[in-house]
Amino acid sequence: MEKVRNDIIQKIICGIPANMKPAEYIVTLLGISKGSAYRRLNGELSFSFEEVAVLAKEMNFSVDEIIYSESRRKYIIEFGHYFNDNVENIIYNSLLEYYNHLCINQKMKRFITIEASNNLWFVYTLFCDNLFSFYYYKYLQQYDISCLKMKMKDVNIPDFIIDIKNKITNVILNTHNCISIAMIDPHIFLNVMAEIQYYRRRNFLEEDDMKLITNDIKSLLDSLQKGAVENSYEGREYNCFIGQRSIYSNSAAIQNDNQTYSFFYQQNLHPIICHDKRLCELHSNYLQSHKRQSVLISNSNEELQISFFDKQYEYLRKLSKNIDLKV
């Protein structure tokens, strides 16, 4: 324990800007008293886990390397710091983190995203106002007990969420240094349409809602089909694969000029984020194995491409007519 504490202190001292005194820097960053900062740096008082996480992020050092144990590997993962907040703020902060992620990668020479999806990610709805509204409503339903009896028409999305949504779409449209590799489950749209049908049959969605949402899904399908044909989606190189084995959850590995990191989606709003090099390599290898066992439909395999999208449009037709959705 003492060695770990000393290693953390050494990392902090080495990472502090040359023009600042260690204690003053820590006071500014952590909001603690100068006396508390001195006691931590002298080893009299340990840094809390949360304090180490803040310092590691700001000073760009790996806590994983410090607490490495030969007998048992330990990892630090990032899962936000606002999950006891209300749902509106959780959604806003999740979108804000995604926006910051995009802004960082926009400045890179190039970044590569490889992802596997069995459900339509929240971020895929950003260009579809009504589908985005459904996702927002769905999260209120799932995470705020006071909204259980609300209909979608009764929900108003706050302006600050609309603003961050529009900022994200603007960054996406102006980012051209990305290569995106996507392995998608053959039933990816069936999953979200089944959720929509569930809310419709509980009378939480009106007919007008359904028309607008189904129009958005059609628009999204049209856009993805165009992207598959042209090998380009929202201004970036896009390689779409149809998975030939089960994809159990959404995840992505991102590699830019400086680092590789991974997103794991336990649910579809905010990812668990890992920066550990070894774990990210394992995750990337897992995604590459999915890729090898998937079939490319971007600018390729026209028969499967047509078959896949025809199936999604058939699901959409059944949804619009309220016919049971089946594989």
Whole-number Å distance between alpha carbons of 181 and 177: 13
pLDDT for 233-264, tens place per residue?
Answer: 777 888 999 998 888 889 999 999 888 889 99
- pLDDT at 59 (0 to 100): 74
pLDDT band at 69 (very low <50, low <70, confident <90, very high): very low
Q: What is the largest CA-CA distance in the chain?
A: 70
Amino acid 93: pLDDT: 87
- Residue 122's pLDDT band (cuts 50, 70, 90): confident
Q: How would residue 63 be classed by pLDDT, with cut points 50, 70 and 90?
A: low
Contacts of 287 (CB under 8 A, 6+ apart): 114, 115, 116, 183, 251, 252, 253
Q: What is the pTM of this model?
A: 0.75
Q: What is the pLDDT of residue 158?
A: 95
Per the prediction, the chain carries an average pLDDT of: 86
The fold adopted by the segment(s) 2-74 is 434 Repressor (Amino-terminal Domain) (1.10.260)
Q: Torsions phi, psi of 275, nearest 5? A: -110, 0
pLDDT in tens, 178-197: 999 999 999 889 989 999 99
**pLDDT tens digits along 29-45:** 888 888 888 888 888 87
The full set of domain ranges for the chain reads 2-74, 87-320
Q: Is residue 70 predicted with pLDDT exceeding 50?
A: no
Decide if 283 contacts 228 (C-beta within 8 A): no
The pLDDT of residue 202: 94
Report DSSP letters for 119-153, one per residue. Answer: S--GGGGTT-HHHHHHHHHHHHHHH-GGGTT--GG
So what's the pLDDT on residue 207? Answer: 93
Q: What percent of the chain has pLDDT over 70?
A: 91
- How deeply is 3 buried, as exposed, middle or buried, from its count of CB atoms within 10 A (0-12, 13-18, 19+)? exposed
| Closest by CA position to 163, among listed 86, 99, 209 | 99
The pLDDT confidence band at residue 80, using thresholds 50, 70 and 90, is: low
Q: For residue 137, name the pLDDT band (cuts at 50, 70, 90).
A: very high
Q: What is the mean pLDDT of residues 123-149?
A: 91
Q: Where are the alpha helices (DSSP H) in 42-144?
A: 49-59, 63-66, 87-106, 129-143
1 pLDDT tier (thresholds 50, 70, 90)? low
